[in-house]
Amino acid sequence: MGRFVNPDNSAFQVALNSKIYVDKTGLLEYTNSVLGTTEAYICNSRPRRFGKSYAANMLAAYYSKGCDSREMFSGFAIGKKEDFTTHLNKYDVIHIDIQWFLTNCDDIDNFVAFLTKSILNELKVIYPMVITSDITTIPQALSNIREKTGNKFIVIIDEWDVIIRDEAAEEKVQEDYINFLRGMFKGVEPTKYIQLAYITGILPIKKEKTQSALNNFDEFTMLSAGAFASYIGCTDDEVKALCKNYNKDFEKVKRWYDGYILEEYQVYNPKAVVSVLLKGSFKSYWSETASYDAIVPLINMNYDGLKTSIIEMLSGDTIKVNTTTFRNDTVNFKSKDDVLTYLIHLGYIGYDEVKKSAFIPNEEIRQELKNAVESKRWNEFDSFQQESENLLDATIDMDSRKVAEQIEKIHLQYVSVIQYNNENSLSSVLTIAYLSSMQYYYKPIREMPSGRGFADFVYLPKPEYTDEYPALVVELKWNKNAKTAMQQIKDKKYTESLSDYTGNILMVGLNYDRSGKKHECIIEKYSKNK
């Protein structure tokens, strides 16, 4: 039993000792199914605090010869599988936390040498007759052990991309590190001694200049999670059960912390879920674990109108993203799409794989991004926010003339990149026009099922603001008139979707006349007694 080679199960025990632990041992069922196959090379990338390290610690605890974990796992899902004991604590495991090694390395230029020496020293203790003095690399050692004993290894690397993300200027260090990984996992010889290779981090495998270094790995990412969709992070069903146990409003938790779409699952950041259940406060816990300091300068570069896209997403809209050009590093940004893809991997925006679109996933992230932009004195944002607040005030005051004027002003001055071509473009402008609503309202609901159809927009105020801010039911028309929009709200009973809502409700009908290039608005207060 060593620190890095054949570790004990104490790291995973820490997770089990916590007040809240969600069973993710289904991951072990998957890894058991691919052991010793071409699918046994796995790169699983997720944002901070999504449970990546817990998963890595779980794998080590289950497979390592350095411990007896039968009792630890017997009560979980994996313990009920027929092959539970087939692979339990049967393998030589090497578990490497790159962040730990980087922190404890005196000279970053010697990082690979420091890592290699640490692992070799432990291998020599376990296999003293096999690891001779002429063996100087870990791949050499593993190859010799396999040849002499027949034993294969499970290699787990946590925070594999730290050097890619945090040491972008250290090209030589990065090159040495990539070469180290290539030697460990690429080629014919590693297939002889690798039973499973599992690397995890925030970024997928780096593409630039090293395309072939690790192309034998299957990647499971925030863009395409595949079979790993439900194993990292909390699912709807898991959060619903936790909310029931802790007497928390599930729908409120969902609004605040849900929104990541991974395959057929809605996925939550587990750090946020655990925090709100144990601490009770609905707020952003993201800032406790991450920072936008590295992101805001990229936004300020304003590639291809990036700032406008950020405003659109903050306001509740989605935008198309081409994720294929991003090189999976923090240096080679060439477009708006590259920056947005990076933000997706970091968890700051969500991604719909089917629609190829990005969005702000939940209230926590929406607030965090807003605060970050404001803290950096993004003047365009401040100015736009003021105009948007004027619009919201006019709406609540039921000043329909001013609402029409303000929407027109916002369109002409701030979002001129969006051209009015149809009703969809009108929707985009309206979304960003009500940017200021995010302080008082949840993310607007687009085409909310209601009555006999779908309302274009429904804005629901946060509970603490229901006395001051009414719910808004908005219908848009193109080349018709505002009266038609208002009549549709009434005829199709759009307000019925809010039958359980106890606060005030305003009905807003908007029209854009293309020929006159004018906006028209009608606002009425909904009476539930009618």
How far apart (Å, rounded) are the C-alpha atoms in residues 357 and 355?
Answer: 5
Residue 392 parent element (H or E): helix 379-396
pLDDT at 306: 84
Confidence at residue 444, expressed as pLDDT on a 0 to 100 scale: 86
By DSSP bridging, strand 453-459 and strand 265-268 are unpaired
**Tokens of residue 242, six digits:** 């936790």
pLDDT at 88: 98
- The top-level CATH class assigned to 10-228 is alpha beta
Other beta carbons within 10 angstroms of residue 456's beta carbon come to 25
**Of the candidates 169, 243, 200, 353, the residue with the CA atom closest to the CA atom of residue 20:** 243
Q: Identify the pLDDT of residue 254.
A: 94
β-bridge mates for residue 518, sequence order: 513
In angstroms, the CA 139 to CA 134 distance is 13
pLDDT of residue 409: 86
Pairing of strands 445-450, 453-459: antiparallel
Query: Is the pTM of the predicted complex or chain greater than 0.85?
Result: yes
Instruction: Please tell me the predicted confidence (pLDDT) of residue 436.
Output: 82
Widest distance between CA atoms in the chain:
90
- For the chain, 530 residues long, the average pLDDT of each consecutive 10-residue run is 94 96 97 97 94 96 97 96 96 97 94 96 95 94 97 97 82 90 94 97 77 82 96 95 96 93 95 94 74 70 80 85 90 89 93 94 87 66 82 96 91 66 70 84 73 72 91 90 93 83 91 85 83
Amino acid at 134: D
User: Helices 171-185 and 138-149 meet at what angle, rounded to 10?
Assistant: 10
Contacts 24+ apart (CB under 8 A), 301-306: 301/333, 301/339, 303/333, 303/334, 303/335, 303/336, 303/338, 303/339, 304/335, 304/336, 304/337, 305/336, 305/417, 306/336, 306/339, 306/340
Q: Helix, strand or coil for residue 397?
A: coil
296 phi and psi, to 5 degrees? -55, -45
The CATH number assigned to the domain with range 379-525 reads: 3.40.1350
